[in-house]
Amino acid sequence: MAKGDGLKPIRDPLGSGTGIDFAVIELLFFAYRDFTSDPDKILAGYGFGRAHHRVVHFVNRMPGLTVAELLDVLKITKQSLARVLKQLIDTGHIVQVQGPRDRRQRELYPTEKGRALALELAAPQSRRIGRALAGGGAADRTAVEHFLKAMVNPELRAQVDKLPHDGGGGEGL
């Protein structure tokens, strides 16, 4: 060792001339980190983690979805889901109902407590988004939504579209 080893320190910053969009890569990293920090603080108070957040969120947005459907949305294994789901059921945030047509299935629904938690977690995230979009016009919001959707793998965009579209709302009139 120690001949023409490629172990010499490179001193110029990576960037120029590569044609790579480092600006947006880094903005996504920092933006997402701070975006998730809001609910993380709240969750810690309940003894929950980010995994609980995702389950509570999607059960509230798609009430009655089955365990298999939830696994498909989250892209995790059922053993991984089982742990956090059990806690959320034990703490009364989520209830299971036997599927009406197929009794092997368990439909997942939020309780009032679970709905309240979902709202509490979403509120600061929505406020952050609201501030970030403030000042821009409708075209800016459209551009951001279009960009984020286009970042999702094409096969998975169907899932995004399956979620409720928030007809009535806050900003309308």
C-beta closer to DNA: residue 61 or 96: 96
Among its own copies, DNA, none, what binds residue 138 when CB lies within 5 to 8 Å by partner kind? none
Q: Restricting to residues 97-126, which ones interact with DNA according to CB under 7 A?
A: 99, 101-106
Cα(173)–Cα(168) distance, rounded to whole angstroms? 10
| 68 binding partner (options DNA, its own copies, none; Cβ < 5 to 8 Å by kind) | DNA
Q: Which is nearer to its own copies, 42 or 54 (CB)?
A: 54
Site mask for DNA (CB under 7 A), range 45-74, x = bound: --xxxxxx-x-----------xxx------
Cα separation, 63 vs 114, whole angstroms: 11
Rounded (5°) CA angle 120-127-132? 150
- What HEC string does 43-76 produce? HHHHCCCHHHHHHHHHHHHCCCEEHHHHHHHHCC
Q: For residues 86 and 157, which CB has a smaller minimum distance to DNA in the complex?
A: 86
